[in-house]
Structures are given as structure tokens and as C-alpha cells.
């Protein structure tokens, strides 16, 4: 066999052994030093997605993602081995700002098996994109080694049920100068029942952003609960606030009147008891005479 061909085959073998051990950046750097060509005919990435299923529904804001990925294609090109290998797998839901790597529990050059949990999915209809990258190389007619890249994305639409997300718009530890406090919160989807718990007391039914009234001065806290038609309940954080309402003149007058009544009543009671004692003494003196 021609010496140059032997060297190319050795180089190909080294790449096949070392590339899976390299990071994506290092592996791609090696490949990009090799002339790149179009992906050979018949080479393709095939997804076998068992979960999530298209148009299926999932509960508790969670999906168990289970899928296999395989590279299909001929074994030889021009009588030389066609090397193919998968690179990285990642996913991104329409509620996510960035993609996440898919954990791979079976890792082979031409086959990946993935099984992992996607959690904290908000309520509603979603599209999840699963993407796999790959690359390969082969020897062309002039005995030169060339490389190619692979990539494929599969989208799955599904509906996810999850707890309503209840968020206060008011900051913590607000100081109120009146005896009322406005509830100001949002819920991420339609609900059928809302309640609030003030200072750990019994739940109070509310219809939305309402105002709590007749609050005594001092520290308070409130928590909002929201339940949707499917029985999922979301809970807000506990919001703390302070009421420091000035005492009105009518309140002062009523308090002063009450104190005066108590004082006068107590005085009259003492006076009556004293008169009763003196009368009893007088009667005893008269009886003795």
C-alpha cells in the first residue's frame, strides 16, 4: 500500500480514538484543520424520541426526556472507511433563555442514548427543540483526508400542567400610613380560586387584587394561594408589611370617653360601698343604744 495512504489511515485512526476524549472546541479545531466537504449522500442523524410525545400532556411541570440518536450511512466511500461520530446533544424549550446539555448514559461514536428530567416547566403549550451535532471524515480519490459536519434538530410540541406562579408586585416591608393594605400580585395563568392568609389566620377568599382594611397598627404578613381548574395550587412568598396609621380625633375622643366612664363608674362604686359601710355602722350604733 502506498506510504501516503498508510499515513492517512493512521491519522484517521488517531482522530477516531482521540476525538471522543477531547472537548467540543478541541475536537472541532482538529476537524477544521482538515478540508471540509458536503455531508456524503446517505449520511443522516436519526432521532427515536420516546418522550416527550408530540401533542401529549404532562403534569407537575416535569417531563422525562427519553430518546436515542443514531448516525446512519455507508461504511465505505471510495473503498476507504467512512468515519462518523456524534458530538453533543442539547435541548431548549420556548420558555428557556439558553440551551441545556442532554446527559448521555450510553455513549458510542455513532449512537447516543439519553434519559433525563426537564423540570420547572411553566404551565401551557410548549415547543422543545432537541439538537444533536456530529462530524466525520473519509479519504477522497487523491488520497487526501476530508471532513464533514452533521447537525439535526427535532421539535416536539406538548402541553404541560403545573402549579400557578403567584408573584407579589409590592416590595417587602412596606410601611403603610393607613389602616389598609392593597394586595398587588400576578398569576401566570387562569385560576378558579384565590385565598389569602393574613398573619397566619384563617384563609380569606379573594377575587384578585383587593385591599385589606381595618388593620391594627404593627407588623403584618400575608400569603396568597391560587388554584386552577385542574387542582394545581400555587403559593406566593410571604409578604411582610407594617401599618403605622395615625390615631384619629374620633378614636381619641372615644378612648377618652371610655376611660372617663370607667373612672367615674369606679368612683361611684367606691363611694356607694363607703356609704353602705357607714350606714351599717350607724345602724349598729343605734341598735346598741
pLDDT tens per residue across span 34-74: 899 999 999 999 999 999 999 999 999 999 999 999 999 99
Q: Are residues 55 and 119 in the same domain?
A: yes
How far is residue 136's CA from residue 13's CA, in Å, rounded to a whole number? 12
Q: Which of 2-11, 97-106, 117-126 has the lowest mean pLDDT?
A: 2-11
Contact in structure between 183 and 207 (CB atoms under 8 Å): no
Q: Are residues 145 and 28 in the same domain?
A: yes
H helix runs in the chain, sequence order: 3-18, 24-32, 249-288
**Measuring CA to CA, which residue among 143, 82, 134 is closest to residue 109?**
134
Cα angle for residues 163, 238, 189 (degrees, 5° grid) = 25
Q: Are residues 100 and 196 in the same domain?
A: no
Grid cell 448514559 is found at 105
Q: Which CATH number goes with the domain that contains 129?
A: 2.60.40.650
Q: Are residues 16 and 153 in the same domain?
A: yes
Please list, in sequence order, all residues whose beta carbon lies within 8 angstroms of the beta carbon of residue 149, skipping any fewer than 6 positions away.
31, 36, 39, 133, 134, 135
What's the total number of domains in the chain? 3
Q: Using the predicted structure, report yes or no on whether residue 233 has a pLDDT greater than 60.
A: yes
Helix (H, G, I), strand (E, B) or coil at 20: helix
- Give the range of the structural domain holding residue 260, as residue numbers without chain letter: 254-289
pLDDT tens per residue across span 170-228: 889 999 999 999 999 999 999 999 999 999 999 999 999 999 999 999 999 999 999 99
190: its cell numbers? 387562569
Q: Are residues 117 and 97 in the same domain?
A: yes
Q: Is residue 128 part of a domain?
A: yes
Please give the average per-residue pLDDT across 73-78, as a whole number: 90
Q: Is residue 38 part of a domain?
A: yes
Q: Are residues 205 and 156 in the same domain?
A: no
Q: Are residues 221 and 120 in the same domain?
A: no
Q: Are residues 262 and 278 in the same domain?
A: yes
How many percent of the chain have pLDDT more than 70?
A: 75
Q: Which of 137-146, 238-247, 270-279 has the lowest mean pLDDT?
A: 270-279
Q: Are residues 14 and 73 in the same domain?
A: yes
Amino acid at each position: 500500500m502506498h506510504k501516503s495512504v498508510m499515513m492517512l489511515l493512521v491519522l484517521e485512526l488517531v482522530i477516531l480514538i482521540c476525538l471522543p476524549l477531547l472537548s467540543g472546541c478541541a475536537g472541532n479545531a482538529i476537524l477544521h484543520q482538515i478540508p471540509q466537504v458536503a455531508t456524503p449522500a446517505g449520511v443522516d442523524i436519526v432521532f427515536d424520541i420516546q418522550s416527550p410525545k408530540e401533542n401529549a400532556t404532562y403534569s407537575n411541570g416535569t417531563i422525562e426526556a427519553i430518546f436515542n440518536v443514531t448516525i446512519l450511512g455507508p461504511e465505505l466511500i471510495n473503498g476507504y472507511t467512512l468515519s462518523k461520530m456524534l458530538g453533543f446533544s442539547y435541548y431548549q424549550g420556548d420558555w428557556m433563555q439558553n440551551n441545556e446539555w442532554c446527559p448521555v448514559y450510553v455513549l458510542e461514536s455513532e449512537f447516543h442514548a439519553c434519559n433525563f428530567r426537564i423540570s420547572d416547566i411553566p404551565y401551557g403549550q410548549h415547543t422543545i427543540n432537541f439538537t444533536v451535532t456530529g462530524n466525520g471524515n473519509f479519504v477522497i480519490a487523491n488520497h487526501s483526508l476530508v471532513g464533514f459536519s452533521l447537525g439535526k434538530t427535532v421539535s416536539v410540541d406538548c402541553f404541560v400542567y403545573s402549579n400557578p406562579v403567584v408573584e407579589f408586585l409590592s416590595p417587602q416591608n412596606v410601611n403603610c400610613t393607613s389602616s389598609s393594605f392593597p394586595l398587588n400580585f400576578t398569576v401566570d395563568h387562569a385560576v378558579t380560586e384565590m385565598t389569602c392568609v393574613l398573619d397566619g389566620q384563617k384563609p380569606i377568599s379573594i377575587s384578585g387584587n383587593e385591599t385589606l382594611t381595618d388593620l391594627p397598627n404593627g407588623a403584618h404578613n400575608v400569603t396568597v394561594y391560587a388554584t386552577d381548574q385542574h387542582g394545581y395550587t400555587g403559593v406566593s412568598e410571604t409578604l411582610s408589611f407594617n401599618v403605622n396609621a395615625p390615631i384619629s380625633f374620633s378614636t381619641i375622643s372615644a378612648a377618652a370617653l371610655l376611660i372617663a366612664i370607667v373612672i367615674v363608674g369606679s368612683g361611684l362604686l367606691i363611694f356607694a360601698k363607703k356609704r353602705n359601710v357607714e350606714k351599717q355602722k350607724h345602724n349598729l350604733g343605734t341598735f346598741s343604744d
